[in-house]
Amino acid sequence: MKKVLFVCMGNIFRSQIAEAYYNFCTGCDYATSAGLRPGSHIHDAVKDAMLEVGIDLSGSSKPLSKSAMDEADYIIAMDRRIPSELPPEYSGKIILWDTPDTKPENGREIREIRDSIIGRVENLLEEG
C-alpha cells in the first residue's frame, strides 16, 4: 500500500477528508495530511459532513513537515497553489488535485467537495 500525504493550505477541510477516507478504506494509517499554513481547528460543518459517511474527524490540523514529505510515496496537492510552495526536490512525488474550496458554513458545497474527494481517493486506491 502506498503512503500518501494530502496537502492543502489550512489542513482544516479538503486534506483532512482525503486522509480520513483513505485510511478508512485501507483500514490502516497509510495516509496523513498537513497544511502549509494550518488553521486552528477542523470546521464543524466538515466534521458533520464526514459523520454522514461514518467517519469521525476528531483530529486537529497539522503543519507540513519534511519528514512527512520524505515518508510519502505520493504528495497530493489539493489545489494548484501548493506545488509552487513545496521544495523542488519533491516535484516527482506531487500529484495535483485542484479541488475547490468553500466557506465552512456552506454545507451543500462541503458535501459536493467531500463526494468529489471520496471519488478521487477511490480511483487512487484502484490504481494501486
* pLDDT for residue 58: 84
What's the pLDDT at 51? Answer: 96
Across the beta sheet with 31-35, what order do the strands follow? 31-35, 4-8, 74-77, 94-96
pLDDT of residue 60: 86
Query: In this structure, are residues 55 and 31 in contact, taking their beta carbons and an 8 Å threshold?
Result: no
C-alpha cell at 34: 498537513
Query: What confidence score (pLDDT) does residue 128 get?
Result: 73
pLDDT of residue 106: 78
Domain of residue 35: give its range.
Answer: 4-127
Judged on CB neighbours under 10 Å (0-12, 13-18, 19+), 34 is buried
Q: Is 5 helix (H, G, I), strand (E, B) or coil?
A: strand
Predicted confidence pLDDT, tens digits, the chain (128 residues): 889 999 999 999 999 999 999 999 999 999 999 999 999 889 899 999 999 999 999 888 999 999 999 999 999 999 999 999 999 999 999 999 999 887 767 788 999 999 999 999 999 999 87
Residue 59, CB-side half-sphere exposure with 13 Å CA sphere: 18
What CATH number is attached to the domain comprising 90?
3.40.50.2300
Give the pLDDT of residue 118: 97
Structural domains of the chain, count: 1
Q: Kind of pairing, strands 74-77 and 31-35?
A: unpaired
